[in-house]
Structure 1
Amino acid sequence: MHEQIELEKINQVIADYFDNITKENWVAVKELMPYFIKAGIFNADVKKGLPIRKVLRSLDADNALAKIPFVHAERKDKDTYWYFVRPGSSYVSKAINDTGVTKKQKAKIIKAGSDENYVIDLCDELLQQRASRQHKFGFLLGDYHKNGKTRTALPVDAYYAALNLAIEFIEKQNSGSVSFFDKVERRTISGVSRPEQRKIYDERKKKSLRANNIQLIEIGNSNFDCDNENKLVRNEAQDKKVLEKLLKEFI
């Protein structure tokens, strides 16, 4: 493919972009698609930069990336991410993988420091058991997906099998409207807003757990002393007293 593309013209567009358009030292290749189109190199953009990515992949397969000296390939396990770099500068990745931490690991780290995890840790201590966290039951399912066949299991925050006890930690965004979380304008596959869907699922959890003789206790940040951002102050001694009252039937 690269034999059919005017590589000199591509290089000129990239050089002009760094000289006259941007002060950035590097950009994703998709950012230059409007300029490639204006120069007549491509007729239209497809999938946010696919035409130029195809050129780069072809060059890469022929070990000829040097024909576009601006290009930098950030190679991952399965995918390659393409960037153009200003002459004399270096590409500096912002990807979480550069720290040796995957997105999944990062999510676990954030979760570990959450108020929910803090409260469940205290519950584990008081109940002298280790909860199954984000526990899923075969009978507790969300609505059907677009294919009309599959459904996702709805997890509970903690489940103590020996006690037949489930715990849900209710944060502010679950009880009130918070625009970032709610995104009211978006509709779920069931045709309702996210806040409405959340309420439906909360009720479904209660009914399904009750039907299967599993007791559910809801614990919210409203039960504890919180700061101005509605985050727990984390007075452990006081928080344990609150939980002792909520869990008195099981302690």
Structure 2
Amino acid sequence: MRKARTAYGGAIHEAVEWEGKLKLDDGRIVDEHEVIWLTPIEPRTVFALGLNYADHAAELAFSAPSEPLVFLKSPNTFVGHNAYTRRPVDVTYMHYECELAVIIGKTARNVKTEDAYNYIKGYSVANDYAIRDYLENYYRPNLRVKNRDTGTPFGPWIVDAVDVADPMNLKLTTHVNDKLVQEGTTADMIFDIPTLISYLSSFMTLSENDVILTGTPKGSVDTAVGDVVVTEIEGIGRLVNTIIGDESFTNR
């Protein structure tokens, strides 16, 4: 099942996909364009993977890491489907990153790889923009690279884990202004989903609605104000986002 969180008629509603429309938790059926899409869950602790696809590491002239390269993201970065992401006026290189989001469903500690899928609530799509101007080192990305307000569109759906037969064999694509610019498959992850859950839970407790952003394949290129960026993962969803400039944030 595909589920979403939306704002409609002045209230927040859980919703499900319903014959090409949305069925709200109060039973009303509405068109997708009538709602404001929120993130499919309210993210708790968010773990993001760097260089988790060998082809992406190679395009950045880095060797593949020998253990997961993980950094944390804060809730302020997340926006929903059809939302806007700010590109600061002084930035020269800001690129998209299509990523499979893994959402934890229950408390997890010292999880074995063979049991890891039992701890997953579902999957979603994330577009984890990076601002390379602020990058100090890909192995130690600083806060400004990955924790900018509005910098991580997330959604539109959470797809129940039981409905995804093989999350390690899903096609990922990104289109900018209808042009295909990124293509890959989750099969090419260096560290697969069970390995990541086992690794993280070996030294800390994972909780419901923690999120793991599993990295991106090669093909990340610069974006500009006005670009419409569509990140899509086979069977999970199609996430639309538009880049806007500082002029839209004149009161900040």
TM range (shorter): under 0.3
Task: From the two aligned structures, give the one with the greater strand fraction.
Answer: 2
TM-score by length of 1: 0.19
Task: From the two aligned structures, give the one with the greater helix fraction.
Answer: 1
Q: Which has the higher contact order (CA 8 A, sep 6+)?
A: 2
Structure 1 or 2, whichever has the larger Rg, is 1
